[in-house]
Amino acid sequence: MELFCQSVDFKRCSIREAGLFVLEKKVQEEFLADCGRKSQISDALVLNTCNRLEFYFYAEDETVVSQVIEAHIGGIWKDYAGKFSGMDAAEHLFRVAAGLESPIIGENEIFSQLKAAYSFALACGSVNYTFHHLLHCAFRIAKAVRSQTEISMGALSVAGAAVATASINRELEKARVIVIGSGANAELLVKHLIKKKVQDITVAARNCQAGSRLGKYVPLISLSKCISNADVVFTATSSKEPLIKKEMVENRKNPLLLIDVSVPSNIEDGMSEAENVKVFDIESLKEVIKANNAKRRNEVPKAKAVVKEFLPQISNWLKTLKTETMVS
């Protein structure tokens, strides 16, 4: 048995291409169930965020790993995926958990996302002793990195970068703002908007209960009417199709700011050509992210050193595990 990771992240594909690698929870559940039926796979976990899709396995060989991934994703996966095995896979996991592989260096959101992925895999029955121990090591290392360095000091999330961009382009306190979505990113957007003292926040979502939890709720069916009165709109859903269409913003008299943090994009192509409409997607947030990252660049070597300190004991544990597996 060996530890394997296959990954597609923001470094390996564009935002548009990233839309090809979004797995809904139901698909993830089916994927993990498929892994559970294969005797060659002991443990499996899926980490899917707006910046990455990663599969972690403890399995007999990489062939079965690649086969099960391509059965669910398709042949396009091998054109983009990076592959790690053994200690390289373990170190990659630890760096991801610590925010060192995120577009926003040291961001904390990935830690919560990894914990959620672990809990989901646990509920699906695809986590056994190996990943239970490995993931708790990852959590411990990530906490050590954040406590022993200033890698997370002032780090923005993607949602934070989106709101920061909006505040540069609009006076947010007086703006009429819509947040489309009810998931984790939408919740973060609302939190950041409240910190900016935005008074008028409307949440448009499919799920009334989830949307109402975040703020003043309207159903998605009313989106077109709401947008006609809005100053700023954030999109943060997992919809496969664009939710904001050109006809929704035609003949606008007042400026509209659209900020899309969804993967795939929730805004129809060519929207920036519409009169009085300004569009930002995740790619457009790079300048804000770059400036934010510059504040913590000096902490990266220190953070990597903290991760390295843990590797010998993890290596010894994996060697022992492999020996025990061979004996049994």
Backbone angles phi, psi at 12, to 5 degrees: -105, -10
> How much is the CA Rg of the chain, to the nearest whole Å?
21
* From 5, 13, 35, 50, the catalytic residue: 50
Query: Which residue has 């899709």 as its token pair?
Result: 53
For 45-78, b/e burial (b = at least 16 CB within 10 A) is bbbbbbbbbbbbbbbbeeebbbebbeebbeeebe
Instruction: Output the CA angle 19-12-244, nearest 5 degrees.
Output: 25
| Residue matched to tokens 């510059």 | 294
- Catalytic residue check, 50: yes
Alpha carbon separation from 21 to 85, 154, 283 (Å, rounded): 21, 29, 17
Nearest to 47 by CA among 158, 129, 143, 127: 127
CB atoms within 10 A of CB 181: 29
Q: Annotated active-site positions, please?
A: 50
